[in-house]
Amino acid sequence: MATVAFRTAIRDALDEELAADDRVILFGEDVAVAGGVFATTTGLYDKYGPERVFDTPISELALAGAAFGSAVTGLRPVVEIMFGDFLTLAMDSLVNQSTKYWFLTQEQVSVPLVIRSVVGAGGRFGAIHSQIPASWFMGVPGLKIACPSTPADAKALLKAAIRDDNPVLFFEHKRLYTLEGDVDGAEARLGEAEVVREGTDITLVTAMKSVHDSLEAADELERDHLSVEVIDLGAGPDRDRDPATPAMSEPASSSGPLDRAVDASKVGSRLRAERERLGISLRELARRVGVSPSLVSQIELDRVNPSVSTLYALVTELRMTMSDVFGDSRAGDRAVPQLRGADGLAERPETRRVINLASGVRWERLTPHSDRDVEFLYVVYPVGAESCPEDALMTHGGKEYGYVTSGTLGVRVGFEEYELHPGGSIAFDSSSPHRLWTIGDEPVHAVWVVIGRKADPRGE
């Protein structure tokens, strides 16, 4: 068993399939002489010559058209469209021709082609070179998708894709190219998911780089006695699979989180229902909150996910709590009116706890029944306020995530200092010595999430 890099596994798969089948050809932008912009095709041009490995002009539609034409005339093309963002330019040939031809010929002519494409954020490639367009193609009949997460998967799935008689989109996450892992030469089948970690409490279903992120999260949650199952969908869905013979184990019990996800999609309708109950017009609510009526309308129709600051402003203006919006909805429930003080904090004593820090800093819980494990807080720092003296930094374990809605907040974590302006956010480990303070002559308003705080040095 050899340990190889992800990019090397890609190259080895191409090399082996080119050697095994003379019908396999490889073409795309800079795949030949240059060996690929991500060094996944080095040496293949020299080994197989310009008849089978060649460069093309920059035209995604032409590439897809050439792949379709060569596939239906007996070849097995592997095409590289450098970035997945530009697959939109190849849509007509790929979606309207390649995936339909098998059906249009009454299942007489297959279209065995593979389109490799790089996806994912990372490396500062910019907004239009960093998307993951897999979901755009999930509903296209006749098209298979592969999204490997390890070098072993990359090699096995690419070989399976080249041998498959259907069009296959093969996505390669750019942040995985340097990942190393054991490659044992095992074969893979497109359409089969894999349980990469067993668990009983929560199921995370993911692919590509997020598989590794999910495994790290699972390790963290295990310390909190939560058993997390991680499922890698790297081979994509198999629409021909008999549902009675699933490719993966029965998911861990996750109906709670799934139900909450469904409830989250009803945020807009709950806001609209409360607005109408209070007799407030959409235009008037928008004026009070300081946003356009069209934005409020889109939020109420659940067509737009509002920012934290906008959502909090709407919830507060409608005299609701975050639990009213995200929690269980029971018939007959009505929001309890809130009164706001001069500092902007809601006066809701039965569901809030105010934490008073030095210099008048106040933290208000936004949800009732919260605990020390997870706190969702609204924070007000008056002018000149600070979380602690400069010579006595705080440390209390857990993690903190902050989002500033107005004012300028200074944050020191360890030896690093930051300035957060409206719209700015930060995340840090609370076990590191830290301090927060107001900068300038304007109070700071922020939304804060504290997770896993082990001790609370602040007075209440």
**364 or 285: which leads in pLDDT:** 285
Q: What is the 3-state secondary structure (H, E, C) of 195-241?
A: EEECCCCEEEEECCHHHHHHHHHHHHHHCCCCCEEEEECCCCCCCCC
pLDDT of 11 reads 97
pLDDT digits (tens, 9 = 90+) for 42-88: 999 999 999 999 999 999 999 999 999 999 999 999 999 999 999 99
H or E stretch at 289: helix 282-289
pLDDT of 328 reads 47
pLDDT at 19 over 50: yes
The listed CATH number (1.10.3470.10, 3.30.420.40, 1.10.260.40, 3.20.20.70) that belongs to domain 264-337 = 1.10.260.40
pLDDT of 279 reads 92
396 is catalytic: no
**Cβ–Cβ < 8 Å for 175, 213:** no
Q: Which of 163-167, 351-355, 404-408 has the lowest mean pLDDT?
A: 351-355
pLDDT of 305 reads 65
pLDDT of 298 reads 83
**390 or 203: which leads in pLDDT:** 203
Contacts 24+ apart (CB under 8 A), 423-430: 425/401, 426/400, 426/401, 426/402, 427/399, 427/400, 427/401, 427/402, 428/399, 428/400, 429/398, 429/399, 430/394, 430/395, 430/396, 430/397, 430/398, 430/399, 430/400
What is d(CA 43, CA 48) in angstroms, rounded to the nearest whole number? 9
What is d(CA 190, CA 175) in angstroms, rounded to the nearest whole number? 22
In the structure encoding, which two tokens stand for residue 351, read together? 């569901």
- Highest average pLDDT, of 18-22, 107-111, 291-295, 326-330, comes from 18-22
The answer to whether 194-253 and 264-337 have equal CATH topology is no
Neighbouring C-alpha atoms within 13 Å toward the C-beta of 206: 20
CATH match of 194-253 with 3.90.1300.10: no
Residue type (1 letter), 285: L
What is d(CA 365, CA 46) in angstroms, rounded to the nearest whole number? 65
**386 or 26: which leads in pLDDT:** 26
pLDDT of 334 reads 41
What is d(CA 91, CA 76) in angstroms, rounded to the nearest whole number? 19
What residue ranges do the domains of the chain occupy? 2-183, 194-253, 264-337, 346-451
pLDDT at 241 over 50: no
Strand partners, 144: 168
What is d(CA 376, CA 366) in angstroms, rounded to the nearest whole number? 6
Burial degree of 415 (CB within 10 A; 0-12, 13-18, 19+): exposed
pLDDT at 38 over 80: yes
pLDDT of 302 reads 73
H or E stretch at 276: helix 267-278
pLDDT digits (tens, 9 = 90+) for 252-309: 444 333 223 333 446 788 899 999 999 999 999 999 988 888 888 888 887 766 765 6
pLDDT at 343 over 70: no
Confidence of residue 173 (pLDDT cuts 50, 70, 90): very high
pTM (two decimals) = 0.56
Q: What is the mean pLDDT of residues 13-32?
A: 96
pLDDT at 13 over 90: yes
Q: Which fold has domain 346-451?
A: Jelly Rolls (2.60.120)
* CATH of segment(s) 2-183: 3.40.50.970
The torsion angles phi and psi of 450, rounded to 5 degrees, stand at -115, 125
Confidence of residue 392 (pLDDT cuts 50, 70, 90): confident
**Cβ–Cβ < 8 Å for 103, 142:** yes
Catalytic one of 129, 173, 212, 434 = 129
